[in-house]
Amino acid sequence: MIDIQKIMASPDLRRIGKVILYRPSVTSTNRVLFKMAEAAALQEGDGLAEGTVLIAEEQVAGRGRLNRVWVSPRGKGLWFSVYLCPELPPEKTFLITFMGAVAVAETVNAEFGIHSTIKWPNDVLIQGRKYCGVLTETRVIERKLQFAILGIGMNLNQTEQEITESYGPIATSLRIVLHRPLDMQRLFEAMLLQLDGYYESLLQGEYDRILEKWREYATFLGTEVTIISDDEPHTGVAKDIDENGGIIIQLKDGTERTFYSGDLFL
């Protein structure tokens, strides 16, 4: 359904999308590309080109954060991963996830004129329902980032019934929101262009650009939220994120606490 040769030939892409690998079916694009990157690291020569994208028509064992199932039926969404090798300290790799979420939100808003929002740490929503998840997995040796795999799973053409059967009322698809099926070719190419641009900013050390854009879409900031961390619920006002991607919450007793993991409920 996607002409990857046409996309790879685009003169506007610098790194991400210059090489695109296609598979009809995979366990998960992140898992397969991660193994490819590990194998390439053991070989002499150039190995994988930075910015290589692996896209599949379906994932039979798609995963989200905390190994949660991400249902990825054939032909119903964009399921892809990107191989990246930025010079980042391990504590800054959250920027890759933030970059991915911003690129998704920017693309959808530009293409369809509908407003996406971002929920910490890796969800992209429309009308309060999740349609996209972003998952970054890394290989770190002796405190040095060897590579990162940025995975994006976006619900496009599922019907309301299909979404309800897979996820329940917490999720949606762009088809549900727009009341029509989506052209994957155009959206995928636009997505890669956005990712490519933000990745160049990351490589140039323009971290503030990514963070400010992320904050722009993180409309939950300034509102009351509940985070469940280490099986404990904590309620308060989401104030901001810190320099390492943690969410700062002013709890009801007035104290501020920063969380680096957990489930956020708006």
Domain range list for the chain: 4-217, 224-265
Range name among 10-14, 40-44, 143-147, 257-261 with the lowest pLDDT average: 40-44
Q: Which residue has the higher pLDDT, 70 or 9?
A: 9
Query: Within 13 A of 135's CA, how many CA atoms are on the CB side?
Result: 23
**Which amino acid is located at 193 in the chain?**
L
Q: In the structure, what pLDDT confidence band is assigned to residue 17 with cuts at 50, 70 and 90?
A: very high
Model's pTM, two decimal places?
0.94
For the residues 193-206, what does the mean pLDDT come to?
A: 97
Q: In the structure, what pLDDT confidence band is assigned to residue 68 with cuts at 50, 70 and 90?
A: low
Specify the pLDDT at position 131.
96
Fold matches, 4-217 and 224-265: no
Specify the pLDDT at position 69.
63
Asked if the model's pLDDT at residue 175 lies above 80, the reply is: yes
CATH H-level superfamily of 4-217: Bira Bifunctional Protein; Domain 2 (3.30.930.10)
Could you give the CA distance from residue 38 to residue 15 in angstroms, rounded to a whole number? 20
Asked if the model's pLDDT at residue 206 lies above 80, the reply is: yes
Report DSSP letters for 236-262, one per residue.
EEEEEE-TTSPEEEEETTS-EEEESS-
Characterize the bridge pairing of strands 116-119 and 123-126. Answer: antiparallel
CATH 2.30.30.100 assigned to domain 224-265? The reply is: yes
Q: Which residue has the higher pLDDT, 67 or 100?
A: 100
